[in-house]
A and B are shown apart, each in its own frame.
Chain A
Amino acid sequence: DRQTLVAVLQFLRRSNLRESEEILRREARLLGDDLGAAALSPTGTGLLGTAGGDAESAGSDALLSRLLLYANAFAVGGGVVVEDQPDVSAVLSAYNQQGDPTLYEEYYSGLKHFIECSLDCHRAELSQLFYPLFVHMYLELVYNQHESEAKSFFERFHGDQECYYQDDLRVLSSLTKKEHMKGNETMLDFRTSKFVLRISRDSYQLLKRHLQEKQNNQIWNIVQEHLYIDIFDGMPRSKQQIDAMVGSLAGEAKREANKAKVFFGLLKEPEFDVPLDDEDEEGENEEGKPKKKKPKKDSVGSKSKKQDPNAPPQNRIPLPELKDSDKLDKVMNMKEAARRVRLGPECLPSICFYTFLNAYQGLTAVDITDDSSMIVGGFADSTVRVWSVTPKKLRSVKTAADLSLIDKESDDVLERIMDEKTASELKILYGHSGPVYGTSFSPDRNYLLSCSEDGTVRLWSLQTFTCLVGYKGHNYPVWDTQFSPYGYYFVSGGHDRVARLWATDHYQPLRIFAGHLADVTCTRFHPNSNYIATGSADRTVRLWDVLNGNCVRIFTGHKGPIHSLAFSPNGRFLATGATDGRVLLWDIGHGLMVGELKGHTDTIYALRFSRDGEILASGSMDNTVRLWDAVKAFEDLETDDFTTATGHINLPENSQDLLLGTYMTKSTPVVHLHFTRRNLLLAAGAYSSQ
């Protein structure tokens, strides 16, 4: 409400209703210390100093800008992040017009000339200004209905932009009128948010000195208005370094955005007795002693009695308790883990590919259970089909009539309640009214989630193969959904640019993660279930804290919408894949990019780490599966103070060394990857005859 008050004040001032303005100001008791602080801020003095050009418009512009600053100061004082400011900026931007629209081309070409003539070391950094300035100035012209100027501005300068912005430019070229912008939320958000640039202090001084000259103050105003320049002390970055990090719709991430502490460690596994049974083929147990027939403790949990400082406290977020069936599952998991193949560069996994034939329905989503017993496919004809991967057929619970006939006291009552007559390898689930874009099995294999273009997320029971709940919240297509590794919670992300955290027993979301500028295309839980990673069409990946909904990390660097995310099993690293064909590796703790895997030539739709994190598998639309050496990729990480302070990265060009193998399919794009508990790689895709 403070923001709206400021906006109203500004409107009154603009309409020259001085008395009303004074009365409102007095009544709201707005001004005071906050104003004083804002006036002293360096950017404030910078702005007030520039009063050249057309006196009247510049005067009101300066005033408007000052008010914006005050609004920002209020917001900061109120404990709200400056970013969440769009109330005021959206309202004010309707009235705000920087400089003379007919001269925009002059401003831009002037700046372009200056940057091109600057020293080599500064040029790369200052060239980052081109794209955001171009888009913002163009949008200003369109929003203020200077159509012909906008058109000629676009014609003249769109060719100068970097190649990876081409998609954005194409969208821009179709926006020629203010009304066109109304429907495009992404562009509206872009207009009201500040594009973040990271520039070294030297380059920034150079720029500032040039722009504060009298004839350039208009473009200086524009720069101040739309760009947030995050200054760092140190060497200016090279073009290569910059190119690795830029590409997102919001610029790069401010350093503060990646400074929050993230608990990336894993939760402790509960200790319980593991009964050894006779069929166990292990010759020796772990200590190397001959097998003893007595239950041994779960050694995984008891390894370190101390709390891992990087792991979240056990009760940081409420998690469901372990049921007996879950404990049995864990025992099975550990038995399988003992038989797991140790992967590495010398020992690559075998890959078993499940091809969906005759999927003229359009395969849009695939998931496989953790124990690899069932595979589900979501299709464009709105069906969800579940297959059994093992010879064991899919059975549903008998009808109540039949249930009444069984002997409830028998030992195998759990088998008797299953209906043999309708057992089949395939079960089809009908219910959605649009293509199914995401599917996810629950860890206990009792439930299945599916999300669809109809805006709902549906929970299906895998015991009766019927739909239990439809979660409505997104009113627009939901692109991805996933169960938490502990069950009970699930996350969904969609076209409305937010990701939502749900619990199966609440019909409304528990958390809403808002902040992306464009659709949320991919959502994944961290192995400790305390954080959620979201990849978006605005080419950023954000990490959110489940406890309070805050965005704790922003990763930029992809040049296209992100379609796949994978956390490493130890929880420290994140791998992301996008339409640009690159896989980027991120260190969550430090918030830095630590690797780039080049090789794919088309969108990467599937990413998966092997069970112990030694191999990263990626599957793409270019019909290949590639295996990368994850151990080597993460091994020489130095926690260099310089690196972490400035965020500089020096990525080695080692994609070729890390690539362990490329496996082609017969014109089948790879949609899903899954490592079984024994480290066999399963892949899935639909055969397409082109």
Chain B
Amino acid sequence: LGRVRAAELSGAFPASQVMAQILKDMGITEYEPRVINQMLEFAYRYVTTILEDAKIYSSHAKKSSVDADDVRLAIQCRTDQSFTSPPPRDFLLDIARQKNQTPLPLIKPYSGPRLPPDRYCLTAPNYRLKSLQKKVSSSAGRITVPRLSVGAVSSRPSTPTLGTPSAQAVSVSTKVGTPVSLTGQRFTVQIPSSQAAVKSATPTTPTVQNVLINPSLIGPKNILITTNMVSSQNTSNESNPLKRKHEDDDDYDNL
């Protein structure tokens, strides 16, 4: 909106006329009128920052007045700080050579959605629920979920496709106190014994766990790991679209 030809802009102030001239010299003929104000502001801020820095350098060097060297030094320091430029060509060619030497990695078949390790994804929950009550169960191979009555929070029960709804509590390993509340039903998850073994490798803390340390075992992420764990051991395939979708459930914010 409001792109105006340069000729139509009449600078009321000499500074804006100078700025308009600079823009014209750089070949920019169409711009919004606010651009001149922004450029003037930038120029003013830049020059004052440099001069202030130069004053500091000159007083540090115990000089009586600011001279060109101080200003040059100030510019140099500021450039390295705020106006970074892309890496130089030789550096790029070097890292390219290194990167391009490694052969392309083979693609694992049937591995569901191909995403980087969870640490590099944005799929972890970015919230943590406060626990009011913790129920600890010591049954091996089951996951205990402490029951909470926190308002409208609804949980992500573990893999519905795997188990059949039953009246039994879903157990989360006691090592991670997962504060997740359940809506009506609870599920049993048949976890192969190897999974429990894996879980025992995780760090043990009886208190409410920081989401980041063990995102995989906390509430929403429950599904992620169990799905993966089980599917990698199960020979039976759930249909691929379903598998994918469960993983993507994680970020779905239903609060």
B95 near A512 with CB under 8 A, answer yes
A476 to B155: give the CA distance in the assembly, Å: 39
Q: Which residues of B contact A185 (CB under 8 A)?
A: 85-86, 88-89
A401: Cβ under 8 A from any B Cβ: yes
A183–B87 CB distance below 8 A: no
Residue from A182, A321, A497 within 8 A of B92 (CB atoms): A497
- Chain A residue numbers with a CB within 8 Å of B183 are 401, 404
Look across to chain A and name the residue whose beta carbon is closest to the beta carbon of B253.
Answer: A466
Interface positions of B from 107 to 139, Cβ below 8 Å from A: 107, 109-110, 113-117, 120-123
Interface pair B89/A505, CB less than 8 Å apart: no
Question: What are the residues of chain B within 8 A of A469 when measuring CB–CB?
Answer: 115-116, 120-123
The one of A468, A505, A514, A549 that contacts B123, using a Cβ cutoff of 8 Å: A468
B26 surroundings in chain A (CB, below 8 A): 170, 174
B249 within 8 A of A: yes
**CB < 8 Å neighbour of A514 from B85, B89, B117, B248:** B89
Asked if B63 is at the interface (CB within 8 A of a chain A CB), the reply is no
* Residue interface mask A304-327, B partner, CB < 8 A = 1: 000000000000011111011100
A425-452, CB < 8 A from B: 431, 446
Can you list, as one digit per residue, whether each of A519-553 has a CB less than 8 Å from chain B (1) or not (0)? 00000000000000000000000000011111000
Q: Are B92 and A498 in contact, with the CB atoms below 8 A?
A: yes
User: Are A497 and B254 in contact (CB-based, < 8 A)?
Assistant: no
Check A320 against B107 for contact (C-beta < 8 Å): yes
Give the bracket for the number of chain B residues in contact with chain A.
Answer: 35 or more
Q: Report B217-242 residues with CB < 8 Å from chain A CB.
A: 220, 223, 239-242
Q: How far is the CA of A404 from the CA of B251 in the complex (A)?
A: 17
Tell yes or no: A464 within 8 A of B by CB: yes
Interface residue SS majority, chain A: loop
Q: Is the C-beta of A95 less than 8 angstroms from some C-beta in chain B?
A: no
Say whether A446 contacts B244, CB under 8 Å.
Answer: yes
Q: Say whether A87 contacts B90, CB under 8 Å.
A: yes
Residues of B within 8 A of A417 (CB): 242, 245
Nearest Cβ on chain B to A11's Cβ, whole angstroms: 17
CB of A466 within 8 A of CB of B115, answer: no
Contacts of B160 in A (CB 8 A): 400, 403-404, 406, 408
Q: Chain B's nearest CB lies how many Å from the CB of A218?
A: 28
Give Cα A469 to B244, complex, Å: 15
Per-residue contact bits, chain B 179-204, to A (CB 8 Å; 1 contact, 0 not): 00001010100000000000000000
Given known A179-B75, A417-B245, contact A512–B100 (CB-CB < 8 A): yes
Interface size on A, residues (CB 8 A): 76
* Contact bitstring A489-505, B, C-beta under 8 A = 1, else 0: 00000011110000111
Write out the residue numbers on chain A whose beta carbons fall within 8 Å of the beta carbon of B95: 512, 514
Cα separation A174 to B22 with both chains bound (whole Å): 10
Q: Closest CB-CB distance, A206 to chain B, in whole Å?
A: 34
**Whole-angstrom CA separation of A418 from B241 in the bound complex:** 12
Tell yes or no: A507 within 8 A of B by CB. Answer: yes
- CA A318 to CA B114, docked complex, whole Å: 14
> Is B114 in contact with A464, judged by CB distance below 8 angstroms?
no
Known A320-B107, A400-B254, A404-B187; further 17 A-B contacts with Cβ < 8 A:
A84-B97, A179-B76, A183-B79, A318-B105, A403-B249, A404-B165, A413-B242, A463-B248, A466-B248, A468-B248, A469-B120, A469-B121, A496-B87, A498-B92, A507-B117, A546-B104, A690-B3
Return the 7 tightest CB-CB contacts between A and B, nearest first: A549-B100, A400-B156, A507-B120, A466-B251, A496-B86, A505-B114, A514-B96
**9 pairs, CB–CB < 8 Å, chain A vs chain B:** A182-B79, A321-B109, A325-B240, A397-B252, A417-B242, A463-B245, A497-B92, A513-B96, A549-B96
Listed in ascending order, the chain B residues whose CB lies under 8 Å from chain A are: 1, 3, 25-27, 72, 75-76, 79, 83-90, 92-93, 95-97, 99-100, 102, 104-107, 109-110, 113-117, 120-123, 154-157, 160-161, 165, 183, 185, 187, 220, 223, 239-242, 244-245, 248-249, 251-252, 254
